[in-house]
Chains A and B, each alone.
Chain A
Amino acid sequence: MGTEHPWLQWALDNAWLIPVLPLLGAALVGVFGSRLLRGASHWPAILGVAGAVLLSILLYQGVGELAHEDYDRTQVVYEWFPTGAADDLQTDTHDESWFTVSFRLDPLTAIMLLTVTVVSLLVVIYSRDYMRHHNHPERGYERFFAFMALFVFSMTSLVLAGNFLLLYLGWELVGLCSYLLIGFYYQRPSAAAAAKKAFLVNRIGDFGFGIGVLLIYLTFHTLDYQVVFAATTAAMSGATDQLQQVLGLADTASATRVMLLIQDRVAIIALLLFCGAIGKSAQLPLYVWLPDAMEGPSPVSALIHAATMVTAGVYMVARCGALFVADYRVMIVVAVVGGVTALFAATIALAQYDLKRILAYSTISQLGYMFLGLGAYAADSAIFHLYTHAFFKALLFLAAGSVMHAMGGIIDVRRFGGLRKILPVTFITFVIGSLALAGFPLLSGFWSKDEIIHAALQQQPVLGYMALLTAVLTAFYTFRMVFLAFFGQEKIPAGVHAHESGGWMLWSLILLSVGAAFAGYAGVTSFTGHGFVGLFEPHGKFHEFLHPVFTPFTAALAEMQFLPGGPGSHGGEAAHDYTLMYVSAGLAILGIVVAYLCYVAAPTLPRAVRDAWPRAYRILNQKYYVDEIYDAAVIRPLRGLGDFCFGMDNYFVDGLIWVVTAVPQFLGHLLRSMQRGAMQAYGLGMVTGLIIIVVLVLTRG
Chain B
Amino acid sequence: MSGSALAYVMYAIFALGGLGVYFALPQEGRWPSRTAVVLGLAALLGFLVLLGLEFAPDGGGGLYWVLFAGMAVFAAARVVTHHRPVYSAIYFVVGVLAVAGMMLLLAAEFVAVALVMIYGGAIMVTYVFVMMLAQHGGRPIYDHSSRAPLGAVLAGFVLTATLSGAIAEALPAGAAAPTTTVNYDVDFRPAAVEESGPLPAGNTAAVGATLLARYMVPLEIAGVLLLIAMVGAVAVARKRIPVTEAGALAPPAERPLGQSGREAEPFVPELKKV
Contact = CB atoms under 8 A, between A and B. Distances in A.
A678 B148 CA distance: 11
A678 B147 contact: yes
Contact of A694 (B148, B152, B163): B163
A678 B151 CA distance: 14
Contact of B162 (A678, A684, A691): A691
A695 B165 CA distance: 10
A687 B148 contact: no
Contacts of B177: none
Contacts of B118: none
Contacts of A678: 147
B179 to A, nearest CB: 32
Secondary structure dominating the interface of B: helix
Nearest to A686: B155
A680 interface: yes
Interface string A606-621: 0000000000000000
A3 interface: no
A694 B166 CA distance: 10
Interface in B159-179: 159, 162-163, 165-166
A472 B164 CA distance: 115
A662 interface: no
Interface in B33-63: none
A683 to B, nearest CB: 9
A76 interface: no
B198 to A, nearest CB: 44
Interface residues of B, number: 12
B159 A681 contact: no
B155 A695 contact: no
A687 B163 contact: no
A424 to B, nearest CB: 96
Contacts of A691: 155, 158-159, 162
B248 to A, nearest CB: 40
Nearest to B163: A694
Contact of A684 (B151, B163, B166): B151
A690 interface: yes
Contacts of A690: 159
A687 B155 contact: yes
Interface residues of A, number: 11
B147 A687 contact: no
Contacts of B155: 684, 687-688, 691
Interface string A538-558: 000000000000000000000
Contact of A680 (B148, B163, B165, B166): B148
Nearest to B169: A698
Nearest to A680: B147
Contacts of A681: 147-148
A695 B162 contact: yes
Interface in A668-701: 678, 680-681, 684, 687-688, 690-691, 694-695, 698
B153 to A, nearest CB: 11
Nearest to B152: A684
Interface in B120-140: none
A517 B229 CA distance: 122
A698 B165 CA distance: 10
Given A680-B147, A684-B151, A698 B162 contact: yes
Contacts of A688: 155
B159 to A, nearest CB: 5
Contacts of A680: 147-148
A694 B162 contact: yes
Contacts of B151: 684
A688 B165 CA distance: 17
Nearest to A684: B151
B148 A698 contact: no
Contacts of B162: 691, 694-695, 698
A694 B158 CA distance: 10
Contacts of B156: 687
Contacts of A694: 159, 162-163
A688 B159 CA distance: 9
A697 to B, nearest CB: 9
Nearest to B155: A687
Contacts of B159: 687, 690-691, 694
Closest 8 CB pairs of A and B: A687-B155, A698-B166, A691-B159, A684-B151, A691-B158, A695-B162, A694-B162, A684-B155
Interface of A: 678, 680-681, 684, 687-688, 690-691, 694-695, 698
23 contacts: A680-B147, A680-B148, A681-B147, A681-B148, A684-B148, A684-B151, A684-B152, A684-B155, A687-B155, A687-B156, A687-B159, A688-B155, A690-B159, A691-B155, A691-B158, A691-B159, A691-B162, A694-B159, A694-B162, A695-B162, A698-B162, A698-B165, A698-B166
Given A681-B148, A687-B156, A691-B158, 16 more contacts: A680-B148, A681-B147, A684-B148, A684-B151, A684-B152, A684-B155, A687-B159, A688-B155, A690-B159, A691-B155, A691-B159, A694-B163, A695-B162, A698-B162, A698-B165, A698-B166
